[in-house]
Every structure is written in structure tokens, then in C-alpha cells.
Amino acid sequence: MTDRPIGIFDSGVGGLSVWQEIERLLPNESIVYYADNANCPYGEKTREEVIRHSAKVAQFLVDKGCKIIVVACNTATSQAIDCLRETFEIPFVGIIPAVKPASINSKTGVIAILATAGTLKSGKFNEARQEFSGNTEIIPVEGGELVDIVEKGLQGTKLSEKILHKHIDPLMERHIDHLVLGCTHFPFLIDDIKKITGNRLVLDNPAPAIAKRTEFILENEGLMASPLNEKQVVFFSSGDIGMLKNMVENIIGFKSCTGFYGNS
């Protein structure tokens, strides 16, 4: 059945940056989004914990009939996606920091990646760093506290600005020209980052590429939804659904949800 939904999950609301791109690119597709915000953030957890939480969420999405699952979390991708692919029989799409395009397109030869500790410690990131560090200096910056800023809807506040200055000002002194957004929460801080940097940086957001990869797999597997699909977009949360609902309806402005379901 091609009209089965796409499953998307993240540790919280950050994966909505990927959901937005998939919604835009594939408007006929039904979607089930799961925010595991009871266990957020994943970036501070052990690999075993990330695998356990990710497998539980993936099973939930499989039980909901999802035909493909997008792991819209950098930490879960880097630490758990191989296990998920071995465990479940449906396709998985992961998200990888856009180190390659940033390295190739950098004019100063210095780029930075803003990510959580879990992503920066992962083998997948360090393999990419090693591969592309020949002609490019790649500066890793741990920005886990910014996940909490987005989860609490504090974009555009003095606190957000203060934390971003702390992370970005030293990078500007080192003449970076690309900042890789290595966590799906961080695209929601783009306006705040631009207030600090103006047009001096290219912000590399991998979400559009993930949407295109999802489309490619659906087409290849014959899983695209029909134009007559009775589309549904449903959101689940393992914790407080309020933050997720506020982000979707008020900050993103999406009003066509089929339903929100959480523990409160």
C-alpha cells in the first residue's frame, strides 16, 4: 500500500525542520511524527541508551504502518541507524551533517560544525572530518544547550542571543565562512544566527537534502502516495505534547494537522 505514512522521529521538536522540507516536497504523503521529548536530549546519552530509545520509537512507527522512517536526529543517525536497519525491514533515511558541501564550497578553507556531543563523538562524524580535513580546517563546536533553547521555544530571546554569541564569536575570529548546522534543532535558530553574523556565513542545513533522499527512495521502491491519498499528518510525543503543538501551529504555522497525542 503506497498510501501508508512516512514516519519521522527526533528526540524532540528539532526534527520538525526535516518534516517541513518533506511536507513541502511531498505534499500528498501522510506523515506520522514522533518526538521523544521525555528522553530529550539524545546528544547527552550513551550509545546504548540512544539505540534503545531509537528502537522503541521505530517499533512504534512500524506499528503505525509507516512505509519508511526518517531518523531526523543527528545523534540517533550516527549511533543507532545501523542497528535499526538490521532490526527492521523497511527503509531508513538518516541525517548527516553537511560537512562535505561546506568543505567543498569554503573559500577561506575554515568551516565549523555546531552539533551535540553525541554527534561530535560519533564514528560517522569523525570519518567525515578525516575525509575532508585535507584542504579544510573543520572546527567542531558542542552546542547542546541550544537544543534546550529550541525545545522551550526561546528563539529570538536575549538568552538565545547570548549563547549563540558565546559559540559563534570565536569562530568568526578564526575566519570561518560556513557553519554546518549539525543538529536538526538548529535550523530554528537561523534568524538568530543571522542577526549575529549578517551575511558573512553560509549556514549549511541538511534538511532539504534529506527530503530529496526520502523522495528518491519512495520513487525507487514504488512507495509514492497516490494523488487521491486521504492525507493525514499526526504528531505524537512521549512527554508533554504542548511544546510540539506550539511549535507546529504557532511558530511554524501549520494548521492542517490530523491530531496531536502525548502524555499530557
Residue whose cell numbers read 486521504: 230
Q: What is the pLDDT of residue 264?
A: 45
**What value, to the nearest 5°, has the Cα angle with vertex 136 and ends 177 and 199?**
5
CATH T-level fold of 99-204: Rossmann fold (3.40.50)
The whole-angstrom separation of Cα 19 and Cα 72 is 8
Q: What is the pLDDT of residue 110?
A: 95
Fold: same for 6-95+207-261 and 99-204: yes
| Whether domain 6-95+207-261 has CATH 3.40.50.880 | no
Q: Is 66 a catalytic residue?
A: no
Distances, alpha carbon 78 to alpha carbons 66, 154, 157, 209, in Å: 22, 27, 31, 17
pLDDT in tens, the chain (264 residues): 588 999 999 998 989 999 999 999 999 999 999 999 999 888 888 999 999 999 999 999 999 999 999 999 988 998 999 999 999 999 999 988 788 889 999 999 999 999 988 888 877 788 878 887 778 899 999 998 999 999 888 999 999 999 999 999 999 999 999 999 999 899 999 999 999 998 899 999 989 999 999 999 999 999 999 988 889 999 999 988 888 888 888 878 888 878 888 864
User: Which DSSP string do the residues of 223-243 spell out, in sequence order?
Assistant: -PPPTT----EEEEESS-HHH
Q: Residue ranges per domain, the chain?
A: 6-95+207-261, 99-204
Q: Is the pTM of this model over 0.85?
A: yes
- Residues contacting residue 157 through CB under 8 Å, at least 6 positions apart: 149
Span between the terminal Cα atoms of the chain, in Å: 33
Q: Of the listed 40, 66, 73, 83, which one is catalytic?
A: 73
Q: Is 73 a catalytic residue?
A: yes
